Amino acid sequence: MTIGVFDSGVGGLTVLRALRARMPQADFVYLGDTARLPYGTKSPDTVRRYALQAAEALRSRDVSALVVACNTASGVALEALASRWPDVPVVGVVEPGAAAACRRSPAGNIAVIGTESTIRGGAYQAAIARLRPEARVRVRACSVFVALAEEGWFDTPAAEAVAQAYLGDWLQGDDPPDSMVLGCTHFPVLTDLIRRIAGDALVLVDSASTTAEVLAERLGAEPGGGGSVQFLATDGADRFARVGSRFLGQTIDATDVEIVDL
């Protein structure tokens, strides 16, 4: 079993980390489209085109399933990918994340943070509305969080100021949400930063583990070990390895990152 995973950059490595934990017997090919990131500021048509090209590159390596480990691409490109390869399981991160938020929110007072494109596209809002129509959903684009995550600035005064500016009025106001979806794969590494502002009562929902569970159920994955990982990027092997190691939770050697052209 070889599973292809793609993202606009290194954030999707948080999803790969969860997939490997759930399906250690599987082989993975991860593609970060680092030459064209971020997807979050691109138009839907452009994101669909990029997603199809990334998936084509993975399919050329005989992957048997595709994981769209990018919230922006998951929101706009899943239908196009499924139409192109109807015989290949395609799983995104939006629906599993929305489902987890609906299950875990005590009162249905749900906040969603993500990139500009993810929020503007409304995929999370629509998914939550389908699953829990009575839920109240508030959204906010937190694009600077991406830069903070990539730089590793989790505990700096600048990071605290940005998080407070984005979230303080919600989390410390009169009607705070009871759950928050981290609607960008970069954001899980900022969990401690967000928690310092939100306190312990807020339920933080990261779609990575839920996505891994959904894929494992679709593929009938069994426990076991021995799986491998190939890393592909469209630019910057050194930066991919340096920053990506933080998201994957283990060291990536730049010599193990193959540069490809889409």
Domains plus CATH for the chain? 2-92+209-259 (3.40.50.1860), 94-207 (3.40.50.1860)
- Nearest alpha carbon to residue 123 among 164, 89, 94: 94
Instruction: Indicate which residue of 51, 54, 135, 184 is catalytic.
Output: 184
pTM for the model stands at 0.91
Token pair for 3: 């599973």
Distance separating alpha carbons of residues 37 and 180, to the nearest angstrom:
25
Percent of the chain with pLDDT strictly greater than 70: 98
> Is 184 a residue of the active site?
yes
Q: Tell whether the model's pLDDT for residue 225 goes beyond 70.
A: no
pLDDT at position 40, please? 78
Residues 166-174: contacts with CB within 8 Å, 24+ apart?
166/113, 166/140, 166/142, 167/113, 167/140, 167/142, 167/194, 167/197, 167/198, 168/197, 170/111, 170/138, 170/140, 171/197, 171/198, 171/199, 171/202, 172/197
For the chain, give the mean pLDDT. 93
Q: Tell whether the model's pLDDT for residue 155 goes beyond 70.
A: yes
Distance separating alpha carbons of residues 37 and 206, to the nearest angstrom:
21
Interval 123-127 mean pLDDT: 95
| Tens-place pLDDT, residues 230-261 | 999 999 999 999 999 999 999 999 999 999 99
Interval 211-226 mean pLDDT: 84
Q: Which range is least confidently modeled, 27-31, 84-88, 110-114, 218-222?
A: 218-222
> Is 142 a residue of the active site?
no
Instruction: Indicate which residue of 51, 54, 65, 70 is catalytic.
Output: 70
